[in-house]
Amino acid sequence: MEAKPDTRTKWTFLTSHARVLHLLARDPGMRLRDVAEACQLTERAVQAIVADLETGGYLKRSREGRRNRYEIASEGMLRHPAEARHTIGALLALLTEEPDPDNLDPSAEPAGTDEGGTRSVNEP
């Protein structure tokens, strides 16, 4: 029997908006061309995302010479009702958290998971 190709759409946990915001938070002077390349999007798509984020009050653009600089409104709340009690700053802190290399145990379960690797729904 011939194997069927996977026809389902590939998906990820973060939206393009979250990826763009994350990159601009890490490097506020990053060129949108470089953001587009890192996110595997077109430059036009990134420009539209930045416009969405500005309109929503999550991002502020200012000019520094010939370049743009971006400031994140980290106190802004996430948009979906299920996450509305969390701030952009909390999301970005989670995404940029670096693990302590001296405290890594490759055999350990990720924090907040049970023996089968399932995250507890009671975790904050």
What are the φ and ψ backbone dihedral angles of 61, each rounded to 5 degrees? -105, 135
Question: What spatial distance separates the first Cα and last Cα of the chain, rounded to whole Å?
Answer: 47
Dump pLDDT digits (tens) for 6-56.
667 788 889 999 999 999 999 999 999 999 999 999 999 999 999 999 999
State if pTM tops 0.75. no
Dump pLDDT digits (tens) for 68-117.
999 999 999 999 999 999 999 999 999 987 666 666 655 555 554 445 44
- Structural domains in the chain plus CATH codes: 16-94 (1.10.10.10)
Annotate 46-69 with DSSP letters as a single string.
HHHHHHHHHHTTSEEEEEETTEEE
